[in-house]
Amino acid sequence: MTRTATDTRERILDAAQGLILAQGYGATSIDDILSHTDLTKGAFFHHFRSKKDLATALIERYAAHDAELFRAFLARADRLGRTPLQQVQVLLGLYEEEMAGLSGAHPGCLFASYAYQAGLFDEVTKRVVRKAFLLWREEVAARLRRAMETRKPALPVSAEDLADGAMATMEGAFVLSMTLRDPSVIARQIRQFRNYLDLLFGAG
């Protein structure tokens, strides 16, 4: 695959991602995607065997980027935080910072978009989404579990539920942000979840 070929593929995926987040996979036609590039049908079907193939490639790319960002933030958080709890707080802080820096409206999360059209995708595709959530749960819960070994939380909670809670807060905040057309709610809700952790474990 030459240089241009990869570029073409990426251009298609970029256009597809924007449209699918805005109107859903089912309502996004291939012509629609192509009209946002300077390509034609021939090019599309050279790179993707079918629309389903595009769906899979897109979510895989999205999951890869997501995991990459997550691991980068996690690495920074692990360096910056001295305790496991601090590391989680820094991690969430980095996401809060990221979301606070949003200029326009948040485009939403492709995982949730796929979840709300799950009937259109096969198991392979849905497993990609599941794995992304489980990666988050695994890494965050591990740190919280270690935190709980040294400091007992104020209320009885499980590390997994806490990890999921952070994820849920973000996903839910995306939905609110989209309907209320207010990008600021995301950062504010992440901050609230950080409050919760502070109160559970004691700040600092």
- Which candidate, 176, 172, 169, places its Cα nearest to that of 191? 169
By CB under 7 A, which span of 3-11, 98-106, 138-146, 164-172 interacts with DNA? 3-11
* 115 belongs to the binding site for a second copy (CB under 8 A): yes
Within 8 A by CB and 6+ apart from 144, the residues are: 84, 85, 88, 159, 162, 163
**CA distance linking residue 99 with residue 58, whole number of Å:** 22
Give 98 or 196: the residue with its C-beta nearer to a second copy.
196
Asked if 62 and 17 touch (Cβ cutoff 8 Å), the reply is yes
Does residue 167 contact residue 183 with C-beta atoms inside 8 Å?
no
Q: For residues 125 and 140, give the distance between their C-alpha atoms in angstroms, rounded to a whole number.
A: 24
Residue with tokens 């270690």: 146
Instruction: Work out what residue 31 binds among DNA, a second copy, none; the CB cut-off runs from 5 to 8 Å by kind.
Output: DNA
Residue 127 CB, nearest distance to a second copy (Å)?
Answer: 10
Q: Which of 58, 91, 147, 178 binds a second copy (CB under 8 A)?
A: 178
Q: How many residues bind DNA (CB under 7 A)?
A: 24
For 13, which DSSP code?
A: H
Binding site partner of 69, from a second copy, DNA, none, Cβ cut-off 5-8 A by kind: none
Applying CB under 7 A, the residues found at the interface with DNA are 1-2, 4-5, 8, 28-32, 38-47, 49-52
Applying CB under 8 A, the residues found at the interface with a second copy are 19, 21-28, 108, 111-113, 115-120, 126, 129-130, 133-134, 154-155, 157, 161-162, 164-165, 167-173, 175-176, 178-180, 185, 188-189, 192, 195-196, 198-200
